[in-house]
Amino acid sequence: MSSVLQLLLEGEHLNTAQMAQVLGLSESDISAELKRLEGEQILLGWRPVFNPERAQETIVRAVIEVKISPERDGGFDRLATRISRFDSVESCYLMSGSYDLLVIATGSDLREVATFVSERLASVQGVLSTATHFMLRAYKEQGHLLLSPNEDSDKPAVSA
């Protein structure tokens, strides 16, 4: 794994200049490496991790278990890709076990997600069944705890 990628995955928010300082590289080295990571689709994109409750934004999320029939050429891939292309689909995974695809879908309200499932997802040819679970509350989002208030540290500012 490249040092730039390792640093990104540590999770501290740093700009290109700061990353250059941390790694002892030039800013242009960092930019070139980021471009390479993106070009090779190792780094797929940039997204903030935010807490919709605090931002007072309504986002409805559902986890959908999807059973599909595999195709002779390509197994699940073509159908999975087709489902993944919908904007409502945030993530899509092939699973072992009692269903095939785990789809995480989002919408601005319940009706939007329900419409997506009934009118778009369920009607795709090859989709055999769906089971939709709406998320009620998030406790941890991509490594960040949501219900742990920042408390003042008791740590002395200087210690031996």
Partner 1 sequence: MADDSQRFVADHVVGLPRSGIRDFFAIVAAMPQAISLGIGEPDFVTPWHIREAAIFALEKGKTSYTDNLGLIRLRREINTYVEHNFELSYNPDNEILVAVGVSEALDIALRAVLNPGDKVLYHEPCYVSYSPSILLAHAQPIAISTSAEDQFGINPDAVEAAWEPGCKVLMLNFPTNPTGGVTERAKLERIAKFAIEKDLLVISDEIYSELTFEGEHTSIATLPGMQERTIFLHGFSKAFAMTGFRIGYACGPAPLIEAMMKVHQYSMLCAPILSQEAAIEALKNGGPAVAKMKAQYHRRRDLIVRRFNEAGLTCHLPKGSFYAFPSIQSTGMSSMDFCQGLLTEQEVAIVPGTAFGPSGAGFARASFSTSYERIIEATDRIERYVDKVRK
Q: Which stretches of the chain bind partner 1, using CB under 8 A? A: 6-7, 10, 12-14, 18, 21-24, 155-160
Query: Which of 75, 128, 68, 133 minimizes the C-alpha distance to 100?
Result: 68
Residue matched to tokens 């095939």: 100
Closest CB to partner 1 among residues 39, 48: 48
Closest CB to partner 1 among residues 17, 131: 17
List strands edge to edge, sheet with 60-68: 89-94, 101-107, 60-68, 127-134
Ramachandran class of 51: left when φ > 0, alpha when ψ lies in -120 to 50, beta otherwise? beta
* Cα gap 78→140, rounded to integer Å: 32
For the bound state, the minimum distance from the C-beta of residue 12 to partner 1, rounded and expressed in Å, comes to 6
Closest CB to partner 1 among residues 6, 91: 6
How far, in whole angstroms, is CA 35 from its chain's centroid?
21
What 8-state DSSP symbol labels residue 69? P
Q: Two tokens at 25?
A: 């590289």
For the bound state, the minimum distance from the C-beta of residue 26 to partner 1, rounded and expressed in Å, comes to 13
For the bound state, the minimum distance from the C-beta of residue 13 to partner 1, rounded and expressed in Å, comes to 8
For the bound state, the minimum distance from the C-beta of residue 82 to partner 1, rounded and expressed in Å, comes to 38
Closest CB to partner 1 among residues 73, 151: 151
